[in-house]
């Protein structure tokens, strides 16, 4: 009888845990709204790939640091905050906001910004976004660049 009672209690506990786990997950929408950027899953390197459309929409309520990491950097996206060479990004952490602040990186085509984003993610930065296709994709989508 005692063994049966323990089995029933264990089953009820298991059922409660399973039902709790099946609840609706907390939406990242509140976080997305607070920083003006989408909150999709991070890639294997620990940063978030951002499309031109996503960035353009986010620029309306810009609440992130926009960094050009292209070498050389003759053109910028509008409202660029910093220019830091991709291969020197970890040597200039003092120029960046805190590790939990949203940072969007871009370069000409995406190669340099991908390397810089991976380096920042490895350094513990948690909200790193990288513009897929860089400013070439930005320009091809009909958006303006600012000449330096």
Average pLDDT of the residues of the chain: 82
Q: pLDDT band at 39, cuts 50/70/90? A: low
Q: Is 107 a catalytic residue?
A: yes
SS3 for 124?
coil
pLDDT for position 43: 84
Q: Determine contact, residues 46/122, Cβ cutoff 8 Å.
A: yes
Domain chopping of the chain, boundaries: 28-147
Q: Reply yes or no on whether the pLDDT at 130 is more than 60.
A: yes
Q: pLDDT band at 129, cuts 50/70/90? A: very high
- 66-102 pLDDT, tens digit per residue, is 999 999 878 999 999 999 999 999 999 999 999 999 9
Q: Reply yes or no on whether the pLDDT at 9 is more than 60.
A: no
pLDDT for position 26: 40
pLDDT for position 45: 86
d(CA 42, CA 25): 17
Q: pLDDT band at 31, cuts 50/70/90? A: very low
pLDDT for position 74: 84
d(CA 40, CA 48): 7
Average of per-residue pLDDT across 10-32: 43
CA distances from 16 to 9, 22, 55 (A): 11, 10, 42
pTM of the complete model: 0.74
Of these residues, 50, 107, 121, 137, which one is catalytic? Answer: 107
CATH homologous superfamily of 28-147 equals Rhodanese-like domain (3.40.250.10)
Average of per-residue pLDDT across 127-142: 96
């Amino acid at each position: 009888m005692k063994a049966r009672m323990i089995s029933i209690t264990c089953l009820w506990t298991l059922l409660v845990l399973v039902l709790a786990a099946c609840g609706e997950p907390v939406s990242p929408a509140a976080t997305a709204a607070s920083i003006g950027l989408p909150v999709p899953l991070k890639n294997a390197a620990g940063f978030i790939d951002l499309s031109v459309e996503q960035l353009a929409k986010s620029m309306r309520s810009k609440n992130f640091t926009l960094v050009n990491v292209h070498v050389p950097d003759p053109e910028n996206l509008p409202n660029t905050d910093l220019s830091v060479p991709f291969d020197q990004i970890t040597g200039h952490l003092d120029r960046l906001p805190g590790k939990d602040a949203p940072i969007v990186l871009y370069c000409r085509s995406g190669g340099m910004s991908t390397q810089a984003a991976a380096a920042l993610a490895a350094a513990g930065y948690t909200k790193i976004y990288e513009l897929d296709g860089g400013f070439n994709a930005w320009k091809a989508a009909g958006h303006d660049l600012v000449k330096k």
